């Protein structure tokens, strides 16, 4: 069986046909779908129920196709809620970032160890922020196309 939860997949509405072409042959149709807006971008939203460990197995196929996404899952018995983000840089690099809700806070114990090292504490906070910062949706279709072109060139 497994530890199942719900998952919501966000991607650019303009790439819906590409997403559907990838997931339909895999029988990965969502239970619900709807549109929305974030950062001024039109997004499409697919919802899945009863996903084993909150992992949508086709996400690497979306990344390979130059499709930016966010996959957000609820908590389970063995894991925290979180999100996986796939974004592309303007240079055509694919960046996948996973952020679990339990990793976002800084423990009081850790802060106490750095109490007399304010520079170290500030640097730790900046580093954690940089690790968890996700590129915006802006220009992701174009950056994803650059990623795909870079993959062809490197072969």
pLDDT at residue 38 tops 90 = no
pLDDT band at 39 (very low <50, low <70, confident <90, very high): confident
pLDDT at residue 18 tops 70 = yes
Which of 38-42, 45-49, 67-71, 133-137 shows the lowest mean pLDDT across its residues? 38-42
Mean pLDDT of the chain: 90
pLDDT tens per residue across span 70-88:
999 999 888 889 999 999 9
3-state helix, strand, coil in the chain (%, to 5): 40, 30, 30
The structure's pTM equals: 0.86
- How far apart CA 145 and CA 12 sit, in angstroms, is 13
Residue 34 CA to its chain's centroid (Å): 18
Q: What is the DSSP letter of 39?
A: T
Residue whose entry in the numeric block shows the structure tokens 């915006």: 136
Nearest to 16 by CA among 50, 54, 62: 62
Q: Give the range of the structural domain holding residue 14, as residue numbers without chain letter.
A: 4-154
Instruction: Give the β-pairing of 41-52 and 32-38.
Output: antiparallel
CA distances from residue 81 to 18, 78, 84, 89 in whole angstroms, order as listed? 27, 10, 11, 26
Q: Which residues have a Cβ under 8 Å from the Cβ of 151 and sit 6 or more positions away?
A: 64
pLDDT for position 1: 56
Q: Say if CB 66 and CB 147 are below 8 A apart.
A: yes
Number of domains into which the chain is organized: 1
Give me the half-sphere count of Cα atoms (radius 13 Å) on the Cβ side of residue 8.
Answer: 14
């Amino acid at each position: 069986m497994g530890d199942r939860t719900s998952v919501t997949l966000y991607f650019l509405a303009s790439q819906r046909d590409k997403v559907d072409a990838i997931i339909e042959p895999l029988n990965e149709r969502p239970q619900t779908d709807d549109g929305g807006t974030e950062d001024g971008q039109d997004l499409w939203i697919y919802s899945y129920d009863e996903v084993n460990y909150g992992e949508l197995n086709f996400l690497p196929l979306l990344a390979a196709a130059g499709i930016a996404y966010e996959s957000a899952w609820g908590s389970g018995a063995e894991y925290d809620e979180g999100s996986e983000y796939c974004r592309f840089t303007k240079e055509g690099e694919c960046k996948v970032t996973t952020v679990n809700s339990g990793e976002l806070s800084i423990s009081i114990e850790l802060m106490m160890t750095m109490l007399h090292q304010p520079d170290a504490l500030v640097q730790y906070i900046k580093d954690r922020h940089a690790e968890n910062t996700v590129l915006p949706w802006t220009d992701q279709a174009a950056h994803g196309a650059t990623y795909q072109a870079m993959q062809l060139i490197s072969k």
